[in-house]
Amino acid sequence: MIRPVTPADLGAFHEVMMAAGMDPRSSWSRTTRQDLERSLLAPASGGFLAEVAGQAVGCVGYRPDGARTLTLNKLATRPQVRGQGWGQQLVGAVETQARQEGYERVLLAVSQFNLEVLPFYTRLGYAQTDEPYAHAHPASPPPVVLVKALKKGTPT
C-alpha cells in the first residue's frame, strides 16, 4: 500500500532511508529526523510511504521548485523488497501528485555515490539535463540531474 506521509511517519521514513544502504560519503547518510520534518512538512511539500503488513518498506519525498517543477527526493526502499515494483510505484505517486497540482515536470537529482540507479530512472522516462540542482549539498560532488515532462491527463 502507498499512502501519504504524516508527521507521525517521520521515524519510519528515516528508518527506510537509513536501511537503503546509501554510500556513507553521501549527504543522505547524514539526514536527520529534523531534516525530514523541515523538508516533508514544509508548505506544498510531502511524501509517500510504501507499507507491507504495517511495516514501511519504501519512501519518497517531494517539494515544489517554482511554478512548473515538482522535485522528487529521498526515494528509498529496503533491500529485501527491491525488484518488487515499490520504487516505481512511489515515483508514480509523486508524478500523480505533480499532475494533480498542475506541475509540468518532475525533477530529481542522483548522487555521484549512487549512479547505479540511473537506469531505473531512465526506464521510467527521466532524461539527464544540464540544469543545476538547487538543493545540492555544498559538501558533496554535483549530482546528476534528471527531468521528466508530464503529459496532461495521462496516468503514470
Separation CA 26–CA 112 (nearest Å)? 8
Q: Is the separation of the CB atoms in 42 and 63 below 8 Å?
A: yes
Domain count, the chain: 1
CATH number at 29 reads 3.40.630.30
- Whether 113 is covered by a domain: the verdict is yes
Range of the domain at 122: 2-149
- By CB atoms closer than 10 A (0-12, 13-18, 19+), residue 37 is middle
- pLDDT in the model for residue 156: 46
- pLDDT in the model for residue 113: 81
- Whether 134 is covered by a domain: the verdict is yes
- Whether 51 is covered by a domain: the verdict is yes
- Whether 13 is covered by a domain: the verdict is yes
- pLDDT in the model for residue 154: 52
- Whether 42 is covered by a domain: the verdict is yes
- Cell output for 129: 539535463
- Whether 154 is covered by a domain: the verdict is no
- Whether 156 is covered by a domain: the verdict is no
Query: pTM for the whole thing?
Result: 0.90
Measured torsion, CA atoms of residues 55, 77, 84, 92, in degrees rounded to the nearest 10: 100
Going residue by residue through the chain (156 aa), what tens digit of pLDDT does each one get?
Answer: 999 999 999 999 999 998 987 777 677 777 888 889 999 999 999 999 999 999 999 999 999 998 899 999 999 999 999 889 999 999 999 999 999 999 999 999 988 788 888 999 999 999 999 887 877 777 778 888 999 999 875 554
Nearest residue to 135 (alpha-carbon basis) of 92, 73, 87: 73
- Whether 101 is covered by a domain: the verdict is yes
